[in-house]
Structure 1
Amino acid sequence: MMRVHVEGIGLLGPGLAGWAAARSILTGDSAYVAMATMLSASPLLPPAERRRSVPTVKLAMAVGAEAMEQAGRDPATIATVFASSSGDPDTLHQILETLATEERDISPTRFHNSVHNAPAGYWSIATRSREPSTSLSAHDESFQAGLLEAAAEVVADGWTVGLIAYDLPYPEPLNKARPIAGSFGTALVLTPAPTARCLAWLDIELTRGDEPVTRMADLGLEALRTGNPAARALPLLSALARVCADGGTETVVLDLPPGGRLVIRVAAPC
């Protein structure tokens, strides 16, 4: 069992335009209406990096910055875990498209943006952070793996950690082989001890049980949860929204194949 405390939350996805705007949707008090995720280059980046930033970087920067601002934390002082199943799909598509031509000349910028830790690099440039950073991928369970990694760093090392998870759809024809629904990102600032800014605490347990996986009551949000790996976070975000609003405790179960589960008890206040 690992206990961590949540200080900040970031969220951006189809019909979910930031944590503050999405909270009533996640609690079921407002209707969910899916619409395109709007991405823009982060003002934290210098002009040159802003021009080169790709959708994955824009999404990761947006949710990470929102979570840090809510937590009142200087991002330069926070360790990070970046989790994504696929990296930047547009860049990978462009590279493969170029390799299919006779010239096969790949631009250095495209190659630079194709590496899985590109968002972490842009983040360190924007925030001037020299803190430890991990970038990982675990297919459809990338958010769950990222949460485990971040929680382990919080508990074992005593760090405050920013977990930033994100996934975007591929262009065709790659979309046929690896369909991802919409552009979705979320971020959590996790601390080892409660503070005045604490929103909730999480008890995280890795089990080999057969607990039923928590699903979303709204059909549109459930389709997003199953269609985008980063959106596997939605049941946890919904529990956080309800606990932050009404107090009490909730239990969330996330799938972690083969045969595993993440059982998360969410409670507030700290």
Structure 2
Amino acid sequence: MHAKELKCKVAGIGAWGNYFDSWQALQALLNGDTLPDSASKGPKPAVIPANERRRAPLPVRLAVESSWQATQSANVSPDALTCVFVSGLGDTDLTDYMCRTLASEHKELSPTKFHNSVHNAPAGYWTISTHTMSAANSVAGYQQSVSLALLEAIIQCESEGVPVLVTFYDAPVADVLQPILSNQQAFAFSLIIYPDAADIEGVALSVTVQNTPVEKWPTLRNTSDYISSLYSDNPSARVLCLAEIFSQPNNNATIAMPLSKATSIAFNCV
């Protein structure tokens, strides 16, 4: 049985992390530039109205800032895009708050925190802020979040013939969940993908699901402590293996990512 090859074009990219505030800044780090002297606390996406932005938790602001950058890079209106948002564990600070409150004597939850605790909160903030009426899916896949979200987005892009925004985001993990995931870095990354037949400029990407497992994620060329820590600890930052290819002038490469215990997903970038 031959696996079907899926194809798309990457037309825009956005990114945000504690030591970079754009795809261009992340590219520079991936290509060997030194870190800035100080880290940033978090993005302030202008597309979210000021009152809502003040109440928005870090995962929401990460996802929305990265998504907005990608739409600007692709020169596309956000309301033209179907969306896929993905996070390995979601907002663990709010998960911890909810569990502690409900386990206490006084069980009154903050309405704002309850509102923000749902896994699709970033997608909700994005679609409301940008007046997007297209479908917006929210995915969680722990360590396989990147490969699952990419497959979901590319299948939608090809089968429905529509451009898709796919955004990966994870914030530092709450202390109580550190034994499960040790991530202490904020990261967000967004791609705008178009059907392969679309008359636009972009990086061509072909994808195949393989009936052979891959146990390890691809090795990065960049070996800096910061990038290595991001890649190993932040589930959404596993997309850096693809971002590193995009950051090169001649980005011909093939990589394979884990997908499940019995399958993997191969990406060929041309």
TM-score, normalising length: structure 2: 0.90
CA distance in 1, matches of 2:263, 2:224: 25
Give, in angstroms, the shift of residue 94 of structure 1: 1.8
1:129 alignment counterpart: 132
* Map of 1:227 onto structure 2: 233
Does structure 1 conserve the Cα–Cα contact (< 8 Å) formed by 2:213 and 2:260?
no
Contiguous gaps of at least 5 residues in structure 2: none
Structure 2 residue identity aligned to 1:198: E
Are residues 160 and 176 of structure 1, via their aligned partners in 2, closer, same or farther at CA, if it must alter by over 3 Å?
same
Q: Which consecutive segments of 4 or more residues in structure 1 shift more than 4 A?
A: 32-35, 194-197
SS in 2 for 1:64: helix
Task: Tell whether 2:19 aligns with 1:15.
Answer: yes
Q: CA deviation at 1:30?
A: 2.2
Q: 1:58 aligns with which of 61, 83, 87?
A: 61
What one-letter code is carried by the residue in structure 2 that aligns with 1:224? L
d(CA) in 2 for partners of 1:208, 1:115: 34
* Structure 2 SS opposite 1:131: coil
User: Aligned partners of 1:66, 1:33: CA distance in 2, in Å?
Assistant: 20
Secondary structure of 2:175's match?
coil
Matched with 1:200 is 203
Match of residue 240 from structure 1? 246
Q: Where does the alignment leave 5 or more consecutive residues of structure 1 unmatched?
A: none
1:164 aligns with 2:167: yes
Deviates more, 1:209-218 or 1:159-168: 209-218
Q: Is the 8 A contact 1:5 1:200 kept in 2?
A: yes
Compared with structure 1, are the counterparts of its residues 100 and 70 closer, same or farther at alpha carbon in structure 2 (3 Å cutoff)? same
Shift of 1:150: 0.3
The answer to whether the aligner puts 1:152 opposite 2:158 as a matched pair is: no
TM-score (norm 1): 0.90
Tell whether the 8 Å contact from 2:173 to 2:184 is kept in structure 1 after alignment: no
The count of aligned residue pairs is 263
How many percent of aligned residue pairs carry the same amino acid?
Answer: 28
Is residue 134 of structure 2 the alignment partner of residue 110 of structure 1?
no
Assess, with a 3 A threshold, how the Cα gap between structure 1 residues 194 and 63 changes in structure 2: closer, same or farther: farther
Looking at structure 2, the residues matched to 210 and 82 of structure 1 have their Cα atoms a distance apart, in angstroms, of 25
Partner of 1:91: 94
Match of 1:76 among 63, 74, 79: 79
Q: Structure 1: how far apart are the matches of 2:107 and 2:86?
A: 30
Report SS of the residue matched to 1:16: coil
For residues 85 and 34 of structure 1, what CA distance do their matches in structure 2 show?
A: 29
Give the C-alpha shift of residue 40 in structure 1.
3.0
